[in-house]
Amino acid sequence: MRPDVVFPRRKVAVFLDGCFWHGCPQHGRMPTDPTGYWHAKLERNQNRDITVNRQLQEAGWVAVRIWEHELAVEAAARIEAIVRSR
């Protein structure tokens, strides 16, 4: 688990997720691949994200997931609100 930004005193971990690599429901596109490699790879990524979120929650942390397509100002406001609330 490697968060992109960490607020250790507030126990907040921020992940900046790419739409392709993390399966964004709006922009994530599954490539056509006869071997199934990409489907399996992207599914593993999504499952890992779920596991990491759960592990952080069990340890008293909050995982914040920001999609690459989110406006920076909106993402920053969301992160700030979560950090301040803790």
Q: How far apart are CA 18 and CA 28, in angstroms?
A: 9
pLDDT > 90: percent of the chain: 79
Q: What are phi and psi of 73, to 5 degrees?
A: -65, -40
Over 80: is that where the pLDDT of 58 sits? yes
Number of domains the chain contains:
1
State the average pLDDT over residues 13-22: 95
User: Which CATH number fits the domain that encloses residue 70?
Assistant: 3.40.960.10
Most confident of 20-24, 26-30, 72-76: 72-76
12 touches 83 (CB < 8 A): yes
Would the pTM count as exceeding 0.85?
A: yes
pLDDT given for residue 27 in this prediction: 81
